[in-house]
Amino acid sequence: MPENDYNYAVFNLQAELGKFEEFENLPLHAGRRALDFPVEDLETGQTTQLKELWSAGLLIVEFGSYT
Amino acid sequence: MAARYAHRSVRSVFLYTREAHPGESFGHHTSMEDKRHNARAFRAEFDVKRQILLDDLKGTAHRAYGMLPNMSWIIGPGGMIHYKATWTDPVDIEDALKYALDAQQRRAKYKLLPYHSERLKWRVRDDDKFRTRLLKNGPQAVKDFYG
């Protein structure tokens, strides 16, 4: 998906509702291994790996935005 | 919530994605600086104490985890997924967290086998609150959602 499509300027309700159906077919399920990605810490600007955060215990990850 | 369970090595983070309902006041991201700017505004308005992490501009992590606007996951040591939900409900998350912590303890004592369970959950729909939120983003956000 191109960067501009991902960061849409106009919300499309039907397209986004479809994501909830697609979620059911996602290969990531309870019991499977989570995927690791680099992420930037807002406070420090440092890049860290998600796996470093779950290495020591249970990690709750909430995805979201201001809007 | 995570603070109440920190002594049991629980950590909670907010992974900042694209804007779900961009508007004139808080628009879509065209750069990481846009993303940082909106994430700082989010942190300030809601006094967020959790660590806020930014996905890349392409949404690589967000897309891999299903690209929903406000989903939550619980991941255990070693990377095993314990919980995923299409929406974020603190009560449900705490319920799942308690179960996962309890299972960790029981696994140390007993031979346990995993199985899958699925539940339909319900959340309150508050259109007035949602519309007010959209209006803060800008009139366009209201128009895009309600037409």
Distance CA(B21)–CA(B140), nearest Å, equals: 9
How much is the average pLDDT of B90-110?
95
Looking at residue A2, its pLDDT comes to: 72
ipTM of the complex: 0.95
* DSSP 3-state of B10: coil
Whether chain A has a CB inside 8 Å of the CB on B119: the answer is no
Please indicate if any CB of chain A lies within 8 Å of the CB of B75. Answer: yes
Residue A4 main-chain phi, psi, to 5 deg:
-70, -35
Task: Tell whether the model's pLDDT for residue A4 goes beyond 90.
Answer: no
Read off the pLDDT band of A43 (50, 70, 90): very high
Mean pLDDT of B42-50: 96
Structural domain contains residue A64 = no
CB contact under 8 A, A50 and B61: yes
Question: Which CATH class, in words, describes the domain spanning B2-146?
Answer: alpha beta
Query: How many C-beta atoms surround the C-beta of residue A47 within 10 A?
Result: 12
* In-domain check, residue A65: no
Question: Does B53 contact A at CB distance below 8 Å?
Answer: yes
CB B62, CB B18: distance < 8 Å: yes
pLDDT at A40 over 90: yes
3-state secondary structure of B143: helix
Nearest residue on chain A to B51, alpha-carbon basis: A41
Distance CA A57, CA B6 (A): 9
pLDDT tens across B73-94, in order?
999 999 999 999 999 999 999 9
What residues does each domain of chain B span?
A: 2-146
Decide if B11 and A53 are in contact by the 8 Å CB cutoff: yes
Which of B58, B78, B61 is closest to B14 using CA atoms?
B61
| Count of domains for chain A | 1
Q: Is A21 among the domain residues? A: yes
Q: Domain range holding A11? A: 3-54
- Per the domain annotation, does A11 fall within a domain? yes
B111 pLDDT more than 80:
yes
Is B18 in the A-facing interface, judged by CB distances under 8 Å? Answer: yes
Q: Of B47, B42, B101, B113, nearest to B74 (Cα)? A: B101
Query: What share of chain B has pLDDT > 70, as a percent?
Result: 100
Is residue A59 one of the residues assigned to a domain?
no
Cβ separation of B79 and A11 shorter than 8 Å? no
The confidence band for A58, taking pLDDT boundaries of 50, 70 and 90, is very high
A30-47 mean pLDDT: 98
Specify whether the CB–CB gap between A25 and B80 falls below 8 A: no
